[in-house]
Amino acid sequence: MRHNATASKSANTRNNQNKPSSNLKMTGSVRVRVIRTLLAIQQGQSLSSVLDPLLNSLHEGDKGFAHALLLTTLRQWHALARLLDSLADKPVDEIEVRTTIQVGLVQLLYLEVADHAAIHETVEAAKEIEFARASGLVNAILRKVAKNTNKFRKKCDKNHSLPNWLAHQLKQDWSDEYAALTQGLRQPAPMFLRVNTAVKSTNEYQQILTDADISTELVELSSGLQLTDTVKTATLLTQALRLEQSTAVSFLPQFAEGVASVQDMHAQLAAPLIELALTNKLAKDTQITDKDSRNEETSTIQLLDACAAPGGKLAHWLELLTADNKSSLFHVKPDDSVNKANSIRLTAIDNEAPRIKRIHENLERLNLQQQNLENSANTDIKLDIVCADATTWQGNSEPKKQKSNQDRAIFDAVLLDSPCTATGVIRRHPDISLLRHEEDIAQTVQLQAQILDNLWPQIKVGGYLLYVTCSILKQENVEQMQDFTARHPDATAIEFTKECNWGIEQAIGRQCLPIDSASGDGFYYALLQKTAQ
């Protein structure tokens, strides 16, 4: 998931979005610091790069209010802007003044701050950021709203809180779901956990959370695939835990030991889906080629996680590969004399060094780094993490003047968590609605196509590519897949069956939408298999 960068940005700009702003002044009142943080976001900084500097600059008792004020202002940003325009006698063009007023409106309409406190402190904030000349305007608008907060709250909630270009595109793509979708995107997202079933079952960990007075709900996602080389469907059940209230990870039992990870329930489908398809392929390969040679030296299964950072789906894949229990879908044992296992080489790539660092940090917490894998008696896995550009990177690095397509085809399965506009995770990253622009779509679609066209020749005949985005725009999803399969006649789209209890069926793949407070994020999944030509 690449929601901090789009194809429209230069490499330097992308990196800057992920780094704390060097000129972000964290002085003054809580409201002033929130205003300055919002100004930094409007200047191109991502929420992830400015949130910690804000919270770390505050006393412990002020952090909760600052976090709520910042996130709620971002979620309601465009609706507040339209309300502001309707309240002002003439256009308010100065970004500092608009931001200050919107911070005041949030306190009155959404955070239930006492009227006198919200108005007085926001007017003082205008003075602190050296816009005292606008304090009269700030005071007048906030007082007008304070007289009838219910009226103005209803007015603000009536329509969407998205940039108009995005709302228009969603209306085109999802006319039936449009109203619920646009309202859902302005709400906080639920918190989900993925349990590392290599060390503990989901039910066991749920009980541990219950004992710690943390209430959760077990969510089961059923999936079915109509694989082209079998007469029967393949099915799986993915389990996630939804917390009734979001909780800091420091309060989660055994989190630091790697027993659980925070991951959206729809994101938890990626690793099991591609493993299910791969399991079927390996079973078929064994039946065809290994009936009389079970004791011969085994081949290496080559897997690729492209655009892998920050590593959540990679970690899930490794957890499944190293699991030694009934929840494991594809488990290998080097000492299995009945069905001798293949060794596995899993390569993960991403094109930014700071994001590669994030992968290593996440795998270290989960005890899934190479040295841990080598110490496991259950697996024979070689993990390579490479900083590389997925539009040009070649997995077969053997020096040859000219590589044929057969030389390039080395992977049995590829998981492509593709760069996208990340419109499906706006609930978690509300800055996206400020940072994205309409022209980003076409440029992102082009980048996706370049990555797909580079990786596809590197997949073996019979191998799979699972295409995943956290976008809810059809241009990046089903339309991208339709264009790709038209360019590549050897790409067959695998159908999801009626066993799926998630997402909306598309011409190719399935689309999840963040409709309500219990739903997962907006993810798209499509599974392609390479066929012989």
Q: Which residue is associated with the tokens 């800057």?
A: 16
* Tally of CB atoms within 10 A around 168: 12
Domain ranges of the chain: 11-160, 192-204+264-289+298-395+405-496+505-530
Residue type, 211: D
* 203 vs 191: CA distance, rounded Å: 17
Cα angle vertex 32, ends 66, 63, to 5°? 20
SS3 209: helix
SS3 370: helix
Q: What is the pLDDT of residues 161-176, one digit of tens each?
A: 999 999 999 999 999 9
**Closest to 158 measured CA to CA, from 73, 82, 98:** 82
54 to 15, 26, 433, 451: CA distances (angstroms): 19, 7, 20, 36
The answer to whether residue 470 is catalytic is yes
* Predicted local confidence at residue 487, as pLDDT: 97
Q: Identify whether the C-beta of residue 55 lies closer than 8 Å to the C-beta of residue 66.
A: yes
The catalytically annotated residue of 307, 420, 470, 512 is 470
Contacts (Cβ under 8 Å, ≥6 apart) of 510: 496, 500, 502, 503, 504, 524, 525, 526
State in words which class domain 11-160 has: mainly alpha
* 388 vs 386: CA distance, rounded Å: 6
* 184 vs 430: CA distance, rounded Å: 12
User: What's the whole-number average pLDDT of the chain?
Assistant: 88
Q: Decide: residue 133, CB within 10 A, 0-12 exposed, 13-18 middle, 19+ buried.
A: exposed
* 84 vs 78: CA distance, rounded Å: 10
Q: Which residue is associated with the tokens 């739903």?
A: 519
Q: Which CATH architecture has domain 192-204+264-289+298-395+405-496+505-530?
A: 3-Layer(aba) Sandwich (3.40)
* 111 vs 69: CA distance, rounded Å: 8
Residue segments in the chain with a per-residue pLDDT below the cut of 70: 1-24, 228-232, 285-298, 324-342, 375-379, 398-407
